[in-house]
Structure 1
Amino acid sequence: PGVALMSCTQAALLLIFATAVAFTSAALQPAVELGGFARCQARAALRRAAAPPRCSALAAPELDQSRRLAFDEFLSQFCGHFDNLEQALEDRRAGRPPREGGGHEHIHCHLQPLALERPAVLANYYFNGDPARPFRQRLYTLQPTEARRSAADGEIRMQIFRLAEQVEAKLRAASGDAAAVAWDAERDLAEELLIPGCDVFWRRVGGHFEGEMATASALVHSPLLGREIVVTDHLHLWEGALWVNDRGCGTDGTYLYGNTRDVPYKMDRVRWSSHRGEPVWEDRRAA
């Protein structure tokens, strides 16, 4: 009887032990998987923090392959420095002063990708190569258009936002360096900062991208001028160039800005550096 009792006790203990092991294993398994996933997320966050901001496609899974590739390619090109110095000099040699004279001002455009809830780009435009004196600062958000929308009508939608006053002030103090601002989607993509009616739709045309507004023109209130203005916008983007043909006039047709001969501002991609504290040009095109 003693032996039989010992066997039953051993069996009971073994059963209890096996049950405890199985329960513990089952309880721990999700925690192990969650911990591994959390570690993976943490490593990815560290990699993103260590790497400089870049345009990366956050394309929706339902995008077809061609539209996804177009979005990736566009984002890889829609950043960096662009400048039309050569065009401005050519106009001067031809005796065409800016504005009413039919020439072009010397304009520099700096596009900087931002880490917001969706792909976004900060655009700084300034005259005569002086980043401390911008004449326009905008925030662009980019997203692929719906699959049901024809590619001919635009594969990429770009919405245009003004900047909050405190953001503009910080950027001016930092000569337009996006790193000087703690960007916040709730503040910087607020509905009141969106410029209505001015969305640009980009589509691939041959070997480049072409952008146009949904309508031929838009009526926009200009806080700077304190009046309503009629704006039109037509853009082209290549790997090595950005052409901008935006024009503005009063509701009575009065000329305000843009090229009077309807010739785009033809900006080449350039590399920008500093030497002894002063901005200088390196190569006319980036490698």
Structure 2
Amino acid sequence: MKSLFVLMLAALMLGIASPAEAADRDPMTRDLILLTDWFEGNFDNEEQIWFQKLQGDALAEKDRHQRIHTIHRRVDLPQFGKNVFYIEEYLDNDPKNVFRQRIVIFSTDGKTRQIRMASPAIKNGKEFHGAYSDPSKLTHLTRDDLIFFEGCDVFWERRASQFEGQIIPKSCVYGEGEKRRYSLHKLWLSSDKFWRVDASLLMSDDSLHVGHPEDMPHEMRRALPFNCSIHFFADNQFSGQVVEDLSLHSQGGTASATRKSDGREFEILMREKEYPYYETRPDFIYFSLREKGQERSIGFSVNDPSSRQVGVRAESIGAFCHRDGYNFRESLELLPE
């Protein structure tokens, strides 16, 4: 009895957990926190589309990607777990062209020492369009409101400075007869990039049925939010028309305003570029002003990728944007004394 007491005392002094305490400790906790932190936000593959256009006829039409903008909003839905997100995705820079909505549920899998991601679809999804800006729409969701797909969960692992996830090969199967197929779903996530292969292959011969091959993922980058205004100057003075509170993001985001004096519509565009052709300062934020429907800019600026405020002025029009959370005093502190 005395020896047992001595062993327990030694364990406490050395900080050794009891079996019950050890069972409560999850070795995936740290990775789960980092993965869900990186997962939250907006992502867009506009840069991928831009470079594919540059290739012209050298890239076959079947190999081109469609533009996708995906919004990952963390939501408080304890009925599904602690780490839950609402996902809404739209095509071709059109928020009304929604093609996918999901509730994403992260958990840890002690057996595989991986992070598990379930992605059930939402029944009657149109009722919940825009829930990323109004999560209260989702408050009363239950499992009966969702469609869970057997065998289609994604398992994530941390590899060096990124996470890689995939569905267990040939576990997510659907369709009948000759069209019976399985989902090929692979994901790569880092602090600023989210790449995804989303395809289906025929069970009969593993040939591609829908989507792109495994080596041709959608290459999305994190889209940073900016708040913008467009100023139409009168006689070169600030007393003209001002259109404020325009939302813009850094991955090919656009916003527009109509000048009341003549009814012409002007558009601002922002691209955060990783340019492969330059050795000096290849990364930058390109910010331009143009008349809507025109390819040619009437003014543009090239900015450091860490810029939290950008602007351009041309032809009695000024456009100015700042990062969400930006304070004007930040700029003052950068000025030389």
Instruction: Indicate the TM-score class for this superposition, using the shorter chain for normalisation.
Output: 0.5 to 0.7
2:126 aligned partner, one-letter code: A
Query: TM-score, length-normalised on structure 1?
Result: 0.64
Q: Which protein is bigger by CA-based radius of gyration?
A: 1
Q: What does 1:1-287 align with in structure 2 at a 5 Å threshold? A: 62-64=24-26, 66-95=27-56, 101-117=62-78, 118=81, 119-146=83-110, 149-151=111-113, 155-165=114-124, 168-172=125-129, 174=130, 177-179=133-135, 181-185=137-141, 187=142, 189-190=143-144, 193-216=147-170, 218-220=172-174, 229-249=181-201, 256-260=209-213, 262-273=215-226, 280-282=248-250, 284=272
Query: TM-score, length-normalised on structure 2?
Result: 0.55
Q: Which residue of 2 aligns with 1:56?
A: none
Residues 120, 178 of structure 1: alpha-carbon distance in 2 compared, 3 angstrom cutoff: farther
The offset of 1:150, in angstroms, is: 3.7
- How far apart, in 2, do the equivalents of 1:171 and 1:229 lie? 29
Deviation sequence 1:40-69 (CA, Å, 0-9, x none): xxxxxxxxxxxxxxxxxxxx97234x4211
3-state SS in 2 of match to 1:181: helix
Deviation sequence 1:21-48 (CA, Å, 0-9, x none): xxxxxxxxxxxxxxxxxxxxxxxxxxxx
3-state SS in 1 of match to 2:95: coil
8 Å CA contact retained: 1:97, 1:103: no
Q: Unmatched 5+ residue regions in structure 1?
A: 1-59
The offset of 1:257, in angstroms, is: 3.3
Tell me which protein shows more helix as a share of its residues: 1
8 Å CA contact retained: 2:42, 2:223: yes
3-state SS in 2 of match to 1:108: strand
**Identical counterparts, % of pairs:** 21
Q: In angstroms, what is the RMSD of aligned CA positions?
A: 3.2
3-state SS in 1 of match to 2:34: helix
- How far apart, in 2, do the equivalents of 1:159 and 1:190 lie? 15
- How far apart, in 1, do the equivalents of 2:58 and 2:184 lie? 22
3-state SS in 2 of match to 1:190: helix
- How far apart, in 1, do the equivalents of 2:161 and 2:207 lie? 36
The offset of 1:228, in angstroms, is: 5.4
8 Å CA contact retained: 2:186, 2:196: yes
2:217 aligned partner, one-letter code: P
The offset of 1:92, in angstroms, is: 1.4
The offset of 1:198, in angstroms, is: 0.4
1:63 aligned partner, one-letter code: R
3-state SS in 1 of match to 2:36: helix
3-state SS in 2 of match to 1:231: strand
8 Å CA contact retained: 2:128, 2:138: no
8 Å CA contact retained: 2:123, 2:146: no
2:128 aligned partner, one-letter code: L
The offset of 1:170, in angstroms, is: 2.6
8 Å CA contact retained: 2:45, 2:67: yes
- How far apart, in 1, do the equivalents of 2:86 and 2:51 lie? 29
- How far apart, in 2, do the equivalents of 1:89 and 1:106 lie? 10
The offset of 1:193, in angstroms, is: 1.2
Tell me which protein shows more strand as a share of its residues: 2
Count of residues in correspondence between the two structures:
213
8 Å CA contact retained: 2:87, 2:103: yes
Q: Which residue of 2 aligns with 1:15?
A: none
The offset of 1:180, in angstroms, is: 5.3
Q: Unmatched 5+ residue regions in structure 2?
A: 1-21, 229-242, 251-270, 273-304, 309-337
- How far apart, in 2, do the equivalents of 1:221 and 1:273 lie? 43
3-state SS in 1 of match to 2:215: coil
Bigger Cα displacement from structure 2, 67-76 vs 243-252: 243-252
1:159 aligned partner, one-letter code: A
